[in-house]
Amino acid sequence: MIHGWTGDENSMWVFAHKLPAHVAVLAPRGPYVAPEGGYTWREIQPGIWGLPGLDDLRPSAEALIGFVDDWSHAAGVSANQMELIGFSQGAALSYTLALLHPERIQALAALSGFMPRGAEDLFGRRPLVGKSVFIAHGRQDYMIPVE
């Protein structure tokens, strides 16, 4: 479960009660502190604002793969295939993970999110083919437009 801008490891647990009991659930915290409070999945740089691109999210995607691998090794659980639920910026990170590591992602749910800039360069590899993908978006979301 991957939180959005200004969220943290507690933000996504509202979805956990709907998940099967036998599923291991991880809810990591974004590695960067957001100026408004909470955390983000991209490094904050002066003068840069707007939706992050693929290259902005790549370091967090790689760190998250490492986090999952470390956790799975310590827990003695296989995490070769993951299912992701991402909200807003967390949805963009979920797409990033699926595009960069398609062999690791089985399914993803993108909630009120967006495809990061630069992602279209990876579509030729067809990284989402054969994966279950659920996309939902609110009609009154003023942070991330439906388009």
The domain limits of the chain are 53-147
Q: CA 99 → CA 2, 44, 78, distances in Å? A: 16, 23, 21
pLDDT band at 13 (very low <50, low <70, confident <90, very high): very high
Give the pLDDT of residue 45: 78
Among 95, 87, 31, smallest CA distance to 64 is for 31
What is the pairing mode between strands 32-33 and 132-136?
Answer: unpaired
The SS3 assignment for 84 reads strand
Give the pLDDT mean for 18-37. Answer: 92
Q: Is the pLDDT of residue 147 over 80?
A: no
**Residue 50: helix, strand or coil by DSSP?**
coil
pTM comes to 0.91
Mean pLDDT score, 70-82: 93
> What are 80-110's pLDDT values in tens digits?
999 999 999 999 999 999 999 999 999 999 9
Q: What is the structure's pLDDT at 48? A: 66
pLDDT band at 139 (very low <50, low <70, confident <90, very high): confident
What class does CATH assign to 53-147? alpha beta
Q: How large is the average pLDDT for residues 27-37?
A: 94
Name which of 38, 36, 89 is nearest 61 in CA terms. Answer: 89
